[in-house]
Every structure is written in structure tokens, then in C-alpha cells.
Amino acid sequence: MNEILKIEHLTKKYDDLTVLDDISLAVNKGEVLVIVGPSGCGKSTLLRCINGLEDIQDGKVSIDGKTGMVFQSYELFPHMTVLQNLMLAPVKVQKRKKDEVKKEAGQLLERVGLSAKKNNYPRQLSGGQKQRVAIVRALIMHPEVLLFDEVTAALDPEMVREVLDVILDLAKQDKTMLIVTHEMAFARAIADRVIFLEGGSIIEDTTPAQFFDAPRSERARKFLRTFEFENVH
């Protein structure tokens, strides 16, 4: 197996508050890792530490290549059209040729069903459309690892599906992905491996079938129960 991301003894603190406590994790190429856990457990912080948005107090993160990240709040640049949003980083950071980037942007937009929107501004798009553009914006940089930080949490329910379908499509192309999500059905469908995080530590690291059907820890069982409803009749 071909390790692409390796986290060793990662510790992250805000002043006295320990958010991530001695996390060790290795991800193989093509693996889809879903990270779940109650709010405040450090899932998002973990992603932010991986791509260097947060400095870490202890430990090591090594990546074979670069990361791309998609945020909950899309964070498209509001003053640029969809196409300009997509082209900015490849042209300015990677110094790629405009024509080539434009062509690729066109192909990727086609793939997520947004060819018609390439000259629109973000404010003219729905939440689901914005998020699909944000995913393309990350993809076009050809990252080795894709990080998704609760990308459907701000969306209306009917738009969740269109975004998740794009991510499912990426999984079929064997992209390496780390996905933080609250969509349990989606997590189960897409994950090769599930990480359950609580209180800044990894409580379970297992297969989706094992995690969802027979979680080993009481804490994971309790967490999963919050997604179930008793039958009232």
C-alpha cells in the first residue's frame, strides 16, 4: 500500500485548551476517510492542521503532495465570476497556461453540470451550485489529497444530494479524500474507513460496516443513537 498522508502524534492547543490530543493516522492513496464525531470534537481542526491553516504544538504531518480544501461556507471570491474563481490559483500559483486551465475548467464544470454558469458571479448561484464550484476550484489544482469540511452543513436539504453526488463521483475516480460530515447515510456509502473522533482523540478507526452496525465503544454507540428515532406507534 502506498501511504500518501501520515500524521504522527499531532497535538493542537488553543492556550490551555487541548483540541487535538496525540493523533496518529495514516491514509493510503485512493482511500476515502470519513471523520465523524460530535460537534466540538476537533474534526474541522484536524483538517485545518493537515493543510497548515493552524499551527500545531506537537507532532508531525507529512503529505506526499499537496492538499485541496472545500469549506462549509464555500468561500468563493465574490468579486470574480465562476471561471475567474477557478482560474486564479492555477494561473497565479502554479503558473499554468491560461488556455489550458480554461479548457480544464470547462471540462470540470461540465462534469458537475455547471457549464452554463461559468460567467456568472457567485451571488447568482444557489448554495449547492456554489459548493460544486468550490469543489471544482479545489480539484483544478490537482491536489493529491482532498479535504471536505462539512460541505453540506450550510445547504438546504434538496441541494445536499447534488453536492454529495459530485463527491461520490470523485470517489469512483480513486481520489484520496478526508471528509468531515454529519450525513451518516452518505458516510456509510462513501467511506473506505471511518474515524470516530471525540474529545480530541481517535476513539474508533474501522470499516464503515463495523462502525455503523457494531461500534465497539459505548461512546460511538451513544453518538450514533443521536441520529435514530424511536418508533412512537
Partner 1 sequence: MGFEVLLKGKNMIRLLQGLGVALKISLISVVISIVLGLILGMLMSLKKPVINMLSRIYLEIVRIMPQMVLLFIVFFGFTKLTGRNLSAEVSSIIVFSFWGTAEMADLVRGCLQSIPKIQYESSMALGLTRLQTYIYVIIPQIIRRLIPLSINLITRMIKTTSLIMMIGIVEVLKVGQQIIEANRKSSPHAAFGIFATILLLYFLACWPISCLARYLEKKLV
Binding site for partner 1 (CB under 8 A): 51-53, 66-69, 71, 73, 75, 77-79, 88-89, 92-94, 137-138, 141
- Strands ordered across the beta sheet of 3-14: 17-28, 3-14, 58-63
Q: Are 42 and 198 in contact (CB under 8 A)?
A: no
Least gap, CB of 103 to partner 1 (angstroms): 19
Q: Closer to partner 1 by CB, 52 or 222: give it.
A: 52
Q: Closer to partner 1 by CB, 53 or 209: give it.
A: 53
Q: Are 104 and 111 in contact (CB under 8 A)?
A: no
Q: Closer to partner 1 by CB, 89 or 168: give it.
A: 89
Least gap, CB of 89 to partner 1 (angstroms): 4
Instruction: Report the Cα 125 to chain-centroid distance in Å.
Output: 21
Side chain identity, residue 177: M
Number of other residues whose CB lies within 10 A of the CB of residue 223: 21
Least gap, CB of 175 to partner 1 (angstroms): 17
Least gap, CB of 88 to partner 1 (angstroms): 6
Please choose, from the candidates 151, 207, 204, 141, the residue with its C-alpha nearest in 3D space to the C-alpha of residue 179: 151
Q: Closer to partner 1 by CB, 8 or 75: give it.
A: 75
